[in-house]
Amino acid sequence: MTLSKAIEKIKQELDLYYSVHEIWVFIHEIFGALMSLDRAQIHAHPDLEIPSGTWKRVRSILRELKSYKPIQYILGQVNFFGLTMRVNPSVLIPRPETEELVSIIIEENKTRSGLKIIDIGTGSGCIAVALAKNMPEAQVFATDLKKGALQVAKINANLNDVRVKYQLHDIIATYSPVFNGSTPSYDIIVSNPPYVLPSQRRQMSRTVLDYEPEEALFVPENEPLIFYEALCYFASKNLNPGGKLYCEINEDMASEMIKMFQRRSIESFSIYHDLSGKNRVVRVDF
């Protein structure tokens, strides 16, 4: 079977399930993963023959897509900041918005050397690994509440040939994580914590609600800033002078975050918009 015929069959099978844009994303992801073809090659070589074994795998992928399972979990990987990251349902799928968080940290701290960075709630490890890869002089630490997430994060550090020190830790608790018998202080704390309200479920797709870990997504309706409160407390105890806290945020909660900062007498902070113009990242200067 040629590539062009395979693409037509994929479009026909998924037509009732997904938009045209989503189907093309799947096509690029599938043939990128299975045949190492980039987008230009997919469109430039319509007569390329697809091995029968590869087409059998494509058929299996299509069956899973019809159950609305995320393509990233089906393939077991995702591209993040130019790096391949392994993912499974124990961790959130890294989003493009989180790449913007990483970009801001790298750009604002590229002239600083000897930094100690900790990623709180690392999940797949995408933030910590991307920072370690692009800031090789920094010492990078990462924590998560789930052992399964740390296992994935360690795989991604090894896959991308970077060194990250990992530790099991609950940011809501009052203790600080211990690495090799000591409690470091940090220059940068970064986190993409849970921030979705239960009332926002109706705005979310089945691919997220049915498959991604709820504990990494949702916060109590009556405590929407619970993780940011904990992160600010952690930063006040564990940041070096001049240290910075960077977080991804709920686009609808910026005004509430500002009020929280005011209650804590935090005066120096900045809120950044993403490429869609939505409130997406906050930086707090301590």
- pLDDT per position as a tens digit, 239-269: 999 999 999 999 999 999 999 999 999 999 9
Q: In this model, does residue 177 exceed pLDDT 90?
A: yes
For Cα atoms 277, 278, 283, give the angle at the middle one, nearest 5 degrees: 110
Structure tokens at 246: 């960077």
Instruction: Tell me the pLDDT tens digit for each residue of 212-229.
Output: 999 999 999 999 999 999
Half-sphere exposure of 145 (CA within 13 A, CB side): 13
The whole-number pLDDT of residue 148 equals 97
Structure tokens at 139: 């010492």
What is the chain's mean pLDDT, rounded? 96
Start-end of H helices in the chain: 3-14, 20-35, 39-44, 52-65, 71-75, 96-109, 126-134, 147-159, 206-209, 226-238, 254-263
Instruction: Tell me the pLDDT tens digit for each residue of 111-132.
Output: 999 999 999 999 999 999 999 9
Q: In this model, does residue 178 exceed pLDDT 90?
A: yes
The whole-number pLDDT of residue 237 equals 95
Q: In this model, does residue 174 exceed pLDDT 90?
A: no
The SS3 call for residue 118 is: strand
For Cα atoms 278, 282, 286, give the angle at the middle one, nearest 5 degrees: 165
For Cα atoms 105, 106, 107, give the angle at the middle one, nearest 5 degrees: 95
Instruction: Tell me the pLDDT tens digit for each residue of 53-111.
Output: 999 999 999 999 999 999 999 999 999 999 999 999 999 999 999 999 999 999 999 99
Count of beta carbons in the 10 Å neighbourhood of residue 259: 11
The whole-number pLDDT of residue 194 equals 96
Q: What percent of the chain has pLDDT over 90?
A: 97
Structure tokens at 96: 């493009």
Q: What percent of the chain has pLDDT over 70?
A: 100
Task: Please report the sign of the dihedral spanned by the C-alpha atoms of residue 145, residue 146, residue 152, residue 158.
Answer: positive
The whole-number pLDDT of residue 275 equals 86
- Tokens 């498959």 correspond to 211
The whole-number pLDDT of residue 102 equals 98
Q: In this model, does residue 175 exceed pLDDT 90?
A: no
Q: In this model, does residue 52 exceed pLDDT 90?
A: yes
Fold of 78-285: Rossmann fold (3.40.50)
The confidence band for 232, taking pLDDT boundaries of 50, 70 and 90, is very high
